[in-house]
Structure 1
């Protein structure tokens, strides 16, 4: 099981830095509950959030589902969510369920 890294501030185009939530090595059935909760908390606390997916080496359809849920939640709240550096594992899982273009549109990754 992998740990979710605590959010850190990253530079943004505005005056306020955008928090960055780094996913651990796995976005699978075993980790998505904790990761989804972390996403919800950070989206409640901040108007914008970057989720760093670069370290993910395992991703299943539940991992993709939690990313889609985070995106829907952000849109519904008028928040900005960017999925950064999606790893090959995340891209493969998203492509397998036809969500790659939705999650990783131009300028998203």
Structure 2
């Protein structure tokens, strides 16, 4: 596939709910803590959360404007400070969920303009 212009980068991470954790607990954490933190980090990222039909796992999604945008944010002067401030949210996330796997994708223009 040719890279005519940067394409959105999409990061997916699948997590298993720990015993006794309800999906509502995860949704509340994302709404109240994770989304506001990422809004402070960058305008180039949006977050999503998908719940499995059986309610035992979630897929957390980060959609970046481009790989270059994500790399620029992660290497910026302010990232280390943001990351330090974000640690309590990560601790709560780890209390609720266990990591299963991850994958990254880029959007494909199905109208055929960037397919080789």
TM-score normalized by the length of structure 1: 0.30
TM-score by length of 2: 0.29
Decide which structure has greater strand share: 2
The structure showing larger relative contact order (alpha-carbon pairs under 8 Å, at least 6 residues apart) is 2
Task: Find the structure with the greater CA-based Rg.
Answer: 2
